Amino acid sequence: MLYKKIEDLTNNELNNLMERASDLMTVRDAVETILADVKKDGDSALRYYTEKFDKARIGAIEVTEDEINEAMTKVDPSLLKHLDKAASNIRKFHEAQLPRDKWFVEISLGIKAGQKTVPLRSVGAYVPGGRASYPSTALMTIIPAKVAGVKDVAMCTPPGTDGKVNPLTLAAAKVAGADRIYRLGGVQAVAALAYGTESVKPVDKIVGPGNVFVTTAKMLIRTHTEIDFPAGPSEILIIADETADPDFIAADLLAQAEHDPNAICVLTTTSEEIAANTQQRLEELADTTPRSEIVKEALQNAAILIGNSLDECIGFSNKFGPEHLEIVTADDEAVLDRIDSAGSIFMGKYAPVSTGDYASGTNHVLPTAGYTRLYSGLNINHFLKYSTIQQLDRKGLQSLSDTIITLAEEEGLYAHADAVKLRLKKNE
């Protein structure tokens, strides 16, 4: 774990923190091979790679309705209640994001311009498996798509070695409203959603997080199928002053560390006492947590950084562009106003990242590795497209004619100009 003043970071240490994107080139050849095989051989390639990577022999690739109903009976009713509560909050938040279906503004007399909102026709939601099952990600990826009005939402998630999908993940997909579920993970799932196979219908867009192989696959199929954004190993940055509780901070850093050995956990604080106490508590927790092996490996990537001022901590955070940002200071609102790059922001000592991961209603599918400088987290707009509209009467066209004709002829596009002249020469 790196423990230093921000001003004392070496160029190498700073670069390691800032340039933390997984090197997609290291797996590109392997990913391209799998993509090509699935595109060429369809279902047989899906079965081959599922057995190779997930150690599962599968017959039917699509999960049947009977399997989904059986999964619902296996899930504890209290868990289903919690799924419903989380789903309700997620649905409510994303409904609040919905734009108007159609609107117009009067540009000037006789000229209206507007916009029409249309949902995508089909979306594929990738829900990771592997180290853990993520029913929460099924909620986060499927519900916004259905709220947006997407008619066809498919989910892909890796099967266990028995060829079956985790019952809680299936239950979450049903609660969320998935139309189809496939027992597929990894690059082969991305390929199937992008290209289609005998059993898998292709989709217009693929959303959801994944490891470096999944992320690379999503980036490579972009000329064929749209994606949300690069989403790799989880990360957190906390801005804290002397009012923060080091026990809470350590717990939140630990929560991110348990995701993945490549998770990134950073504390930036103006208090040396908070920094020292957090480090001590984190080291104690790392020995006792159930996922201790993963946590200890992830903490090798962690950093506790001391700033000379809150300004310095905020500046570092904006440069870092964290997936998750916690603000725990005497004036959280003032800090929030100065943040320009963060996926999801958690304010105050009672807002751990866990709230957004599961039940506050906001989305936990977020850009990582500094991509928050460029992308927003998964939201309703990822499932919508917009068409602009123009509506003019004769007087409106007349008022624009000189401008259109002059600019069109200046560009040498005389037919553009003539399309206006013709209309104004004709009598109604």
Per mean pLDDT, which range of 23-27, 79-83, 157-161, 341-345 is the poorest?
23-27
Q: Mean pLDDT over residues 80-108, rounded?
A: 97
Confidence band of 232 (pLDDT split at 50, 70, 90): confident
Q: Mean pLDDT over residues 215-223, rounded?
A: 95
Please tell me the predicted confidence (pLDDT) of residue 132: 66
Q: Which residue has the tokens 């490549």?
A: 262
- Total Cβ atoms within 10 A of residue 93: 18
pLDDT (tens digit, 9 = 90+) per residue, 320-363?
Answer: 999 999 999 999 999 999 999 999 999 999 999 999 999 999 99
Confidence band of 428 (pLDDT split at 50, 70, 90): low
Kindly tell me if the per-residue pLDDT of 427 is higher than 90. Answer: no
Q: Which parts are annotated binding residues for Zn(2+)?
A: 256, 259, 357, 416
Q: Do domains 2-21+232-352 and 24-227 have the same CATH topology?
A: yes
Q: Mean pLDDT over residues 96-123, rounded?
A: 97
Give the 3-state secondary structure of the chain.
CEEEEHHHCCHHHHHHHHCCCCCHHHCHHHHHHHHHHHHHHCHHHHHHHHHHHHCCCCCCCECCHHHHHHHHHHCCHHHHHHHHHHHHHHHHHHHHCCCCCEEEEEEECCEEEEEEEEECCEEEEECCCCCCCCHHHHHHHHHHHHHHCCCEEEEEECCCCCCCCCHHHHHHHHHHCCCEEEECCHHHHHHHHHHCCCCCCCCCEEECCCCHHHHHHHHHCCCCCEECCCCCCCEEEEEECCCCCHHHHHHHHHHHHCCCCCCEEEEEECCHHHHHHHHHHHHHHHHHCCCHHHHHHHHHHCEEEECCCHHHHHHHHHHHCCCEEEEECCCHHHHHCCCCCCCEEEECCCCCHHHHHHCCCCCCCCCCCCHHHCCCCCCHHHHEEEEEEEEECHHHHHHHHHHHHHHHHHCCCHHHHHHHHHHHHCCC
- Portion of the chain with pLDDT greater than 90, in percent: 93
- Fold type of domain 24-227: Rossmann fold (3.40.50)
* Active-site entry in 235, 323, 326, 364: 323
The residue ranges of every structural domain in the chain are 2-21+232-352, 24-227, 393-425
Please tell me the predicted confidence (pLDDT) of residue 45: 98
pLDDT (tens digit, 9 = 90+) per residue, 11-53?
Answer: 999 999 998 876 778 999 999 999 999 999 999 999 999 999 9
Please tell me the predicted confidence (pLDDT) of residue 233: 83
Kindly tell me if the per-residue pLDDT of 131 is higher than 70. Answer: no
Q: Which parts are annotated binding residues?
A: 126, 188, 211, 234, 256, 259, 324, 357, 411, 416
Q: Mean pLDDT over residues 151-176, rounded?
A: 96
Q: Mean pLDDT over residues 177-189, rounded?
A: 98
Mean pLDDT of the chain: 96
Please tell me the predicted confidence (pLDDT) of residue 9: 97
Query: 2-21+232-352 is classed in which CATH architecture?
Result: 3-Layer(aba) Sandwich (3.40)
Q: Which parts are annotated binding residues for substrate?
A: 234, 256, 259, 324, 357, 411, 416
365: number of CA atoms within 13 Å, CB side?
31
Question: Catalytic site residue 364?
Answer: no
Q: Mean pLDDT over residues 379-405, rounded?
A: 97
Distance CA 349, CA 352 (A): 7
Kindly tell me if the per-residue pLDDT of 130 is higher than 90. Answer: no
Q: Mean pLDDT over residues 89-95, rounded?
A: 98
Q: Mean pLDDT over residues 71-77, rounded?
A: 95
Please tell me the predicted confidence (pLDDT) of residue 23: 74
Question: Catalytic site residue 409?
Answer: no
* Active-site entry in 324, 326, 364, 382: 324
